[in-house]
Structure 1
Amino acid sequence: MTRLGVPHAKEQAEESEQRQLEIRAKFFDGLANPTRLRIVELLLHRGELNVSQLVEATGVSQGQVSNQLACLKWCGYVTSRSEGRYVYYRVTDPRIRTLVELARQIVADNAEHIRTCTNLGISADRRGR
């Protein structure tokens, strides 16, 4: 820090990188919820679906599906369009398909290690989110 309290360029770059790291971690948090991930997988597999179809496919309440869709939409994972009285959701970015498929492959190769990892076993709800 300079004498006037203004951070040096190096400190600013480090702070910027830390913010970007936090955003990337938050990106993965978006898919860390099993219901959100299931919704994304369903949309990737079946294309556009409305809330009623997602409720039926997931077995989760309409309120929960709507809340998870709002999160997914806010973060840019899904987009929606209205048709009559229905709102249809679809995956926004085709790279999400690649990401989910890579995750499936990595999990297949490391399932037992991931399953038994005690540091990853704390659900978002138990962390106070």
Structure 2
Amino acid sequence: MSIMKQGVCLASMEGVEPGVALFRSLGDPARLAIVRRLAAGEARVSELTAELGLAQSTVSSHVSCLRDCGLVAGRMEGRRVFYSLARPELLDMLAAAEVLLAATGNAVALCPTYGTDAVVEATAGAR
């Protein structure tokens, strides 16, 4: 996914699918929380479950998704699997997102389509 090519903005729908898939993989609150936790160091599913307060099946499903996306890797030690971020570039992207969020203030959180209130309403409506 190239945003700029030789200083020229590429205003086209062509080739955006991988970027859309990346942001969707990080768009779920549980998956983003898992990625943020793994940014601090490797962890097992049982540790993620305890730290994030989520069901084991939920954490396993989200870790599997992130692994399938190539964002998380597992390391076997005996019968235990320790998960970590597979790509250090993900840390750079998360740091850049934090800078962007700080620069925009509350604008993203207040967005009527994707902001905090919209996510809460969508989640409540799904029940």
Normalising to structure 2: TM-score of the pair?
0.78
Shift in Å, 1:100? 0.6
1:1-129 equivalences under 5 Å are: 18=13, 20-45=15-40, 47-121=41-115, 123=119
The unaligned stretches of length 5 or more in structure 2 are: 1-11
| Structure of greater Rg | 1
Higher-helix-fraction structure: 1
Aligned residue pairs, count: 111
Which amino acid counterpart does residue 38 of structure 2 have in structure 1?
L
Distance in 2, Cα, partners of 1:20 & 1:91: 25
Higher RCO by CA contacts (8 Å cutoff, separation 6 or greater): 1
The unaligned stretches of length 5 or more in structure 1 are: 1-16
Q: Provide the aligned C-alpha RMSD in A.
A: 2.2
Distance in 1, Cα, partners of 2:62 & 2:105: 25
Distance in 2, Cα, partners of 1:54 & 1:91: 14
Q: Which residue of 2 aligns with 1:6?
A: none
Shift in Å, 1:18? 3.9
Normalising to structure 1: TM-score of the pair?
0.77
Shift in Å, 1:25? 1.1
